[in-house]
Structure 1
Amino acid sequence: MTEGQVTIVDVAATAGVSLSTASKALNGRDRVSQSTRDRVVRVAQELGYRPNVRAQRMRTGRSSVVALVTALPAQIVSEAAHLGFLLELSFPIAEQCLRNGYSMLLVPPVSDLAALDQLDIDGAIVVDPRADDPIADRFRSRGVTVVTVGKDGAGAADAYLDRGAGGADVMLDHLADAGARHVAVALSRQPYSLADSHLAYLESRSDEHLRVSVIRADASAGEEGGYVAVREALVSDPSIDAVYAPLDALAAGGLRAAVDLGRTVPDDLMVATNYDGRRAALAQPAITALDLNLPVIGTRVADLLLGLLNGRQVAVAHSPTPVVIARASTSR
């Protein structure tokens, strides 16, 4: 018997188990005793067995593929960001998928949702869904299991990663410690989950020493949306001495607006954001950001989705607490 001729039938016969037991042991998706699983796996390795992926798909009706897609527009996650956030998040997700017999497909931002119908997937991870997210709805209508990074307000997801305050608590404390007295928090005008989590936190926050104003920016306009919103806020209220924009594109636009208005950063105005990507690191001055611990977030959201696909009842996981990466934009 040569390596290319080995089938799962050969593995089952050599291991002394039924064909279905051998399949379950190798797929790792059903209850099989550990001793049986170890024996089947050992025999498969000794025989040089390699699964026929196409045959598995035909037999199970599953693609064993999951997709990672963002609800945010290309103006936020592409362009100057070069999909950095998604790429960093994708590595731990891809690793978890491979360990569990799945492949991961990274989907760029789409303007035509019909393009998603071409994806032959079992599950999807949707980053930063809208309150009435059409992407999650579209996937669920096809029977695709959906997990979201951030809570989907419409409840279309099967499970979600709770980001808590979304980093607002950590960053506002940092700005206050740096001397801020009036922070403008620039959130997307569109109802993405990150904006919703920030609003919920700000409504519950009580700090008599730090005034917080919320301004809304058009995320679909990318950096220009941040520029317009922050410029208007600074002109209308000169007491603003810090801008916190969780979306890095809005923060970069806000920094440009401050410079155009003659505000010196950080002496006159501090600027901060969430994602520690190219926009934050390469800005002049460099923008203070958060270490969101994307490897842990990716692992946790992947475990949520894979658990659901393998029949486990899971509903929510929680993000780790972010850590401030202080840069020149807040160094007074």
Structure 2
Amino acid sequence: MSQSERNARVRLVDVARAAGVSKTTVSDALNGAGRLPAATREHVRQVARGLGYRPNATARLLRRGHTRLLGVAAREYVDTPWVYADLAYFSQLTTATTRAALSHGYGVVLLPTSGPEDCWLDMPLDGVFVIDPVAGDPMVGDFLAAGVPVVSDRRALSEAGSGARENGRWVDFDYDGAARQVFDHLEAAGARRIAVVAATATACFHQRSVGTYHDWCAERGREPRIVLLPSPGVQQMLDAVRELLAADVPPDALVTLVEVSPPLLLDTIRRLGRSVPDDLLLVCATEDPAASYTDPPVTTLSFLPGETARAAVDLLVDRIEGRAGDHGRLFSADLRIRSSSAFPGRRPALG
């Protein structure tokens, strides 16, 4: 029998038998509980170490009413539940969430976003971070109804109703302000025919960004130039760009609100006979670090995955552990202006 096999079979009762004490005494000695003589406590610990005994951390936490596990789900991708892991924003967000959780002594579980209704409720979680919830999202409401603390956006909590006041916390962005900042920047750079590629998802980011674009165009008497993708993907994204640039009067600026590789996008634009920024300004909503190394460097709209994750975890852990704290955090997106969104002769302050 190998050492690992022997250790795996050591139970509390085995330690008690070897130490010549009761199971209660062993439990108290190993957990620092009870009124035991120091010599007895040390004797039990030495016997446990000698046998290779390891306490069942999961069972111990469950007895205390906590698993120290936080769930994370990106709800924008309900129909394609794992595609978000391939995108720079969600990859950085989940990584930052894991790091923030570990700093508080918690682990992270990536939750499925599709499957039987309520399947997520069978998972023993202390709290949940629901990213980009869809309109009327059942996941947020179901967890709150079950008494599980949730961090999501303000719309999702207001729609959830019951339990949101006590167990709901939020992190959110000024999406309207972020979109206007992009369009105003491009207009100041000389653009008059701004086109947009976005998704039909009902997550706040897409709905409010698209709504702001339509409002912004109406205020200036301009016709919106927009392609909405029902299922965002690399090929669909590039096809949308080709469609927009093939117009009789093509756009002089392009904003992509669906994440795409900046080098791949620039290559596609060049193959279509257009030059960035000479005759097409470009802004991408992406966290892809390659954006600052392309030729030209690409202007990006960042939704701060690291800062968002830390705020979400802090809010969630404060609620789980019963500490008074904020109910939410509102962020402003970061427009990082680079050469792709400045006409020649109008060089931006590089970011």
Unaligned runs of 5+ in 2: 1-25, 39-53, 345-351
Q: CA deviation at 1:269?
A: 1.5
Runs of 4+ that moved beyond 6 A: 11-14, 206-210, 250-254
Contact 1:224 1:253 survives alignment (8 Å)? no
2:182 to 171, 179, 183: 171
Q: Distance in 2 between matches of 1:263 and 1:72?
A: 32
Q: Is 1:155 matched with 2:165?
A: no
Partner of 1:249, secondary structure, is coil
Cross-structure match for 2:115? 112
Q: What one-letter code is carried by the residue in structure 2 that aligns with 1:243?
A: L
Give the distance between the partners of 1:136 and 1:273, measured in 2 at CA.
29
Aligned-pair CA distance for 1:120: 2.3
Task: Report whether the alignment pairs 1:98 with 2:69.
Answer: no
Question: Quick check: 1:322 aligned with 2:325?
Answer: no
Whether the 8 Å CA contact 1:287–1:330 is kept in 2: the answer is: no
Separation in structure 1 between the aligned mates of residue 109 and residue 114 of structure 2, nearest angstrom: 18
Q: Aligned pair count?
A: 292
The answer for the alignment partner of 2:137 in structure 1 is 133
Q: 1:134 to 1:243 in 2, by over 3 A?
A: farther
- 2:75 pairs, out of 71, 76, 89, with 71
Unpaired stretches in structure 1, ≥5 consecutive residues: 15-49
Other-structure match for 2:305: 294
Query: Equivalent residue for 1:40?
Result: none
How does the TM-score come out when normalised to structure 1?
A: 0.69
Quick one: structure 1 residues 194 and 321, their matched pair in 2 at CA, closer, same or farther if it must change by over 3 Å? closer
How does 1:168-317 map onto structure 2 within 5 Å?
A: 168-202=179-213, 205=216, 211=222, 213=224, 215-236=226-247, 238-249=249-260, 258-277=269-288, 280=291, 286-311=297-322, 312=324, 314-317=326-329
Matched, 1:9 2:19: no
Matching residue's letter, 2:115: D
Mapped partners of 1:292, 1:264: distance in 2 = 27
> Partner of 2:194: helix, strand, or coil?
strand
Do the aligned residues in 1 keep the contact of 2:198 with 2:256 (CA within 8 Å)? yes
TM-score (norm. length: structure 2) = 0.66
Q: 1:258 to 1:294 in 2, by over 3 A?
A: same
Letter of the structure 1 residue corresponding to residue 242 of structure 2:
R
Identity of aligned residues (%): 24
Contact 1:88 1:295 survives alignment (8 Å) = yes
Aligned to 1:9, what secondary structure does the other structure show?
coil
- Between the aligned partners of 2:202 and 2:330, the Cα distance in structure 1 is 21
